Amino acid sequence: MTFLDNLSSPADLRRLDAQECGVLAKEIRDYLITTVACTGGHLGPNLGVVELTMGIHRVFDSPRDTIIFDVGHQTYVHKLLTGRRDEFSTLRQRGGLSGYPSRAESDHDVVENSHASASLSWADGIAKARQLKGEDDRHVVAVIGDGALTGGMAWEALNTIAADTSTPPRRLVIVVNDNGRSYAPTVGGFAAHLDELRTTSGYEKLLSWGKETLRQSGAPGRAAYSAIHGVKRGLKDMVSSPQTGMFDELGIKYLGPVDGHDLPSVERALQLAQQFDGGPVIVHMITQKGHGFDPAVNDDADQFHSVGVIDPITGKATPSKSTSWTSVFGTEVCELARERDDIVAVTAAMLIPVGLAKFAEDHPDRVFDVGIAEQHAVASAAGLSYGGLHPVVCIYSTFLTRAFDQMLMDVALHRQGVTFVLDRAGITGPDGASHHGIWDIAMLRIVPGLRLAAPRDAARLTEELREAVSVTDAPTVLRFPRGGVGGDIPALRRLDDGVDVLRESSAGACADVLIVSVGPFARLAGDVADVLEGRGITATIVDPRWVLPVPESVIALAAEHSLAAVIEDGVKIGGIGSQIRSDLREADSRIGVLELGVPDEFLPQGTREEILEHVGLDVETIVDDIVRALPAEVADRAAQSSRRAV
Catalytic residues: 289, 374, 402
**C-alpha distance from residue 337 to each of 306, 388, 423, 444 (Å):** 28, 15, 19, 26
Query: Cβ neighbours of residue 210 under 8 Å, at least 6 residues apart?
Result: 227, 228, 229, 230, 231
Q: Using CA atoms, how far apart are residues 467 and 461, in angstroms rounded to an integer? A: 10
251 among annotated binding-site residues: no
- The number of beta carbons lying within 10 Å of the beta carbon of residue 510 is 12
**Known binder of ligand: residue 337?**
no
**8 A C-beta contact, residue 167 and residue 203:** no
Backbone angles phi, psi at 347, to 5 degrees: -145, 165
The CB-side HSE value for 465 (13 A sphere, CA atoms) comes to: 29
Instruction: Give the single-character DSSP code of 388.
Output: T
376 annotated as a binding-site residue: no
Q: What is the largest CA-CA distance in the chain?
A: 88
Closest residue by Cα to residue 438 from 404, 400, 475: 400
C-alpha distances (whole Å) from 230 to each of 189, 206, 286 are: 30, 10, 15
Beta-carbon count within 10 A of 480 CB:
31
| Residue 78, marked binder | no
Helix (H, G, I), strand (E, B) or coil at 173: strand
| Residue 553 to residues 134, 450, 496, 559, Cα–Cα distance (Å) | 65, 19, 8, 10
Rounded to 10 degrees, what is the CA torsion of 463, 467, 469, 475?
-120
Crossing angle for the helix pair 619-629 and 522-534, nearest 10 degrees? 60
C-alpha closest to that of 23 among 1, 46, 38: 1
Q: What is the DSSP string of 439-476?
A: SHHHHHTTSTT-EEE--SSHHHHHHHHHHHHT--SS-E
Instruction: Check whether 190 is labelled as a binding-site residue.
Output: no
Q: Is there a binding annotation on residue 293?
A: yes
Q: Measured between alpha carbons, how far is 415 from 408 in angstroms, rounded to an integer?
A: 10
**Which residues does 9 contact at the CB level (< 8 Å), separation at least 6?**
81, 82, 83
Return phi, psi of residue 317, to 5°: -95, 155
Helix axes 119-132, 152-162, angle to 10 degrees: 30
Judge contact between 253 and 243, C-beta under 8 A. yes
Q: Do the Cβ atoms of 24 and 3 come closer than 8 Å?
A: yes
439 within 8 A of 401, measured Cβ to Cβ: yes
602 annotated binding-site participant? no
**Binding-site residue set for Mg(2+):** 146, 179
**Binding-site residue set:** 73, 114-116, 146-148, 179, 293, 374
**Binding-site residue set for thiamine diphosphate:** 73, 114-116, 147-148, 179, 293, 374
